[in-house]
Structure 1
Amino acid sequence: MPAEAILEMEPKVSRWFTLDAETVARFGELTGDLKFFHSDPERSADFLFGAPVAQGFLTLSLLSAMCADAVPPFPGQIANVNYGFDRVRFVTPVPVGSRVRGHFTVGGVEEGDERLTVHWDVEIEIEGQGRDQPALVAQWVTFLELRD
């Protein structure tokens, strides 16, 4: 697939994902991020966010699932592999129990042998807060492995 076709792709939006207390707790256990402001409503009430919030890295980690949901496979695609981020900002805390979804826009494409490097402008929206207060914004880079 030529890079031009990917560059011309319309922005894509994923389905909603819920960040409930169980998901936040399980992520905290797996990563060791057990700070009180992710799980304790009483202590969180008097803290910066006013209520428990999801871990920023949990929100970031949903990008793979969100992208798979929003962006259909390209012709000849074998895999879309995470290469990393040029920029990530956690803009707005995500209250536990919120629903979030990803917005994906192609920002650039570089051609290589059987592979394209795709630069994505991504944003995670919190339901009810609109896109002017995203949970995060990032510039994500993936390798798109292709075969004829």
Structure 2
Amino acid sequence: MHSNWIKPLLLIAAVVVLAGCATNKEELMPHGSRTMQDIWHHEAGEGGSGQVARRHLLDARQSLRRPLTDADMQAAPEQQARYTRTAANEIYRQFHRLPNPDLVMYVFPHLAGTDPVPVPGYSTVFPLYQRVQYAMPGERVEDY
């Protein structure tokens, strides 16, 4: 009964093993005349010290930088003041609590316990979200 599927499975495994032995390393992973040391010297530059590569990196960073304008300089203290601890913003809190509405659930009268005891109907209140969430500074300005 089991030999119906075992024989084809063994045949497929043998074909896969023989196909793996028939491959050639040069066909799978061809390589050129460059050695690992040649690649290292080419990428690092100047004898492998990395000075040329570091210089290229600094040049690329410099091209991305831009000078600060007068408007940026004047707006910087105001923007930094929002993230600085002072007596005023400690009173008014930087991180406001986000609303977490209460849900009211009515539990209908029922029987509970191993000896069915009648429980009258009642209302209960629980928050919608499990944890209290806070807003980032400046994310929420209106009170709730």
Q: Which has the larger radius of gyration?
A: 2
> Normalized against structure 2, the TM-score is what?
0.19
Relative contact order (C-alpha < 8 Å, sep 6+): which is higher? 1
In terms of fraction of residues, the more strand-rich structure is 1
In terms of fraction of residues, the more helix-rich structure is 2
